[in-house]
Structure 1
Amino acid sequence: MPTKTLRITTADGRADAFVAFPEHGERHPGVLMYPDGFGIRPVLREMARELAGHGYCVLVPNLFYRHGPAPVIDLPEHIGEEVRPALMARLMPLIEAHTADRALSDADAYLAFLTARPEVAAGPVAVTGYCIGGLLAVRTASAHPGRVSAVAAFHAPVGAAGPDALAGLTAQVHFGHAESDLTPEALGELNQALDVAGVSHTSEIYPGTLHGFTMADTDAFDPAGLRRHWDRLLPLLDRALAGN
């Protein structure tokens, strides 16, 4: 699977990013994949390669490039619960500094870079994300209704995007929630807001899952949850990007 580490010029500097392409050389639909707060690391590279193997050009940016190249903080091979509090204490200032304005400015640069790649087919792209990356995916899709035709978010605080962002969505949507993150009542309220906004969506709690269930390098990892994620994500991309 061809991969590259590239730099993207943004309004505030240069963001490092990981890119994975299908093996065969023709142009393929583009997918912007936002990582979780722990950023670009082996598990994210593997997920990008997996998605590229299904026929997509996948761009994974370093969300916190303003603070240095990925990994911005040192990470163990396995992010267990015993180290998570200390890691989150170091990450939270970076997350808090990544304002909505910064995120949207970066999204402009990421989408322009992705769609200009010679490997990427003309037409709309998809955006997917994990944890905080899922929130960024929603905001990106809402801000670029003509350019993003599918958005997926997993164990993500998508409600924090606000009703205006949800109402601005024209992309097809899938939200996969961790059971530990969302009550059935909160899910019902979120889905009602999507219905009122006229958003084509599926939004569900993945049974028995904890926050971070897609990430194989954490204690929250759930193999069944990860399979369900692929079972929902791949048909969504196929429907939304089939014409590219």
Structure 2
Amino acid sequence: MIIETQTVDIDTPTGVMRCYQYSPVAEGQYPAIIYYSEIFQQTAPIARAAAVMAGHGFIVLVPEVFHELNPRGTVLAYDDKGKDKGNADKFAKPLEDHDSDTEAMIDYLDNHAKCTGRIGTMGVCIGGHLSFRAALNPALLSAFCLYATDIHSNTLPCQEGNDSYTRAGDIQGELAMIWGKQDPHVPTEGRQKIYQQLIEQDVNFTWLEVNGQHAFMRDEGDRYDPELALKMYLDAVALFRRTLN
């Protein structure tokens, strides 16, 4: 499908959040995907990933996940300086503020003329965690979470008992958890911990571990695996077509 892009500024309780919207040009209504980026915000690889998903018949909304901490339009580089700044932002923003961002995007999509009101979420790295986190909201019908960091370790700031691992049982939609077995950020014991929690909380989920490194979806850098990435896009499209259409 031919798509178009535009910039959308959405009011949240913690300030204006810039989002990047990718949507089919053709007339009609489409389900939506909230796509959460890495710590670097909307880089070129994230923009291309969002465009891929939009081209399969979805309105895709990419928020600036650390909008409170950076000027609008900030994109961090894939270098040590960008990594240090992104990690500092990650540990500075409470999960509760990500929750209110999600609610603001849901409100926006609910009032979008071309949106059916059926919404899923997808993300990579910290964005994988944020898509898992967004799925705590019952308005989100499905989530495709790629190598989600900081769930098992409970290292992101939040109120006591409000961490994503503890609250996993609140997820009502369908969950897909995708991991790279060579990912040092989420080791085997961390993945096993999350898997057991999802089993115990009776979450409806699919689990896939592949021979891939952290950020194997990112089409820049030496960890990119094009074959795995293509499979993940197809799996994500299949999940969202089944749960959102």
Q: Quick one: which of 134, 138, 141 aligns to 1:149? A: 141
Question: Which residue in 2 is equivalent to 1:205?
Answer: 209
Q: Any idea what the Cα deviations from partners look like across 1:190-231, whole Å, max 9, x if unmatched?
A: 222212211111112111x11111111233211122112113
Q: Which amino acid aligns with 2:8?
A: L
Structure-2 residue corresponding to 1:112: 107
**For 1:121-157, what per-residue CA distance to the aligned partner results, in whole angstroms no more than 9, with x for missing partners?**
13x3101111111111111111x11x11101110212
Distance 1:118 1:206, change over 3 A: same
Question: What secondary structure sits across from 1:54 in the alignment?
Answer: coil
Which residue does 1:3 correspond to in 2? 5
Task: Give 2:145's aligned amino acid.
Answer: A
Q: Which residue of 2 aligns with 1:222?
A: 225
Partner of 2:175: 173
CA distance in 2, matches of 1:8, 1:151: 22
Q: Deviations over 1:18-57 (max 9, x none)?
A: 1011121101001111111111122211111111111100
CA RMSD between the two structures: 1.7
Q: Which runs of 5+ in 2 are unaligned?
A: 155-162
Please name the residue that 1:93 is paired with.
Answer: 88
**In 2: Cα distance, 1:56 partner to 1:170 partner:** 21
In the alignment, residue 205 of structure 2 is paired with which amino acid?
Answer: H
32-41 vs 155-164, greater mean Cα deviation: 155-164
- So what's the TM-score if we normalise by structure 2? 0.87
Name 1:134's counterpart in structure 2.
128
Match of 1:16, as an amino acid? R
Deviation, 1:183, is 4.5
Mapped partners of 2:73, 2:43: distance in 1: 8
Q: Deviations over 1:57-95 (max 9, x none)?
A: 00000111122112244x2xxx3xxx3x33212222211
Matches of 1:149 and 1:223, distance apart in 2: 28
Amino acid at match of 1:150: S
Higher share of residues assigned helix: 1
Task: Supply the distance in 2 between the matched residues of 1:162 and 1:40 (Cα, whole angstroms).
Answer: 23
Partners of 2:18 and 2:187 lie apart in 1 by 37
Structure 1 residue 117: Cα displacement: 1.1
In the alignment of these two chains, the number of paired residues is 230
Code of the residue aligned with 1:132 in structure 2: it is: I
- 8 A Cα contact 2:34 2:62, kept in partner: yes
Which of 15, 31, 34 is 2:33 aligned to?
A: 31
Alpha carbons 2:143, 2:176 under 8 Å: kept: yes
How much has 1:101 moved relative to structure 2? 1.5
Q: Find the counterpart in structure 2 of residue 55 from structure 1.
A: 57
Aligned equivalents of 1:110 and 1:95: distance in 2? 20
Structure 1 gap ranges (5+): none
Per the normalisation by structure 1, the TM-score is: 0.88
Match of residue 157 from structure 2: none
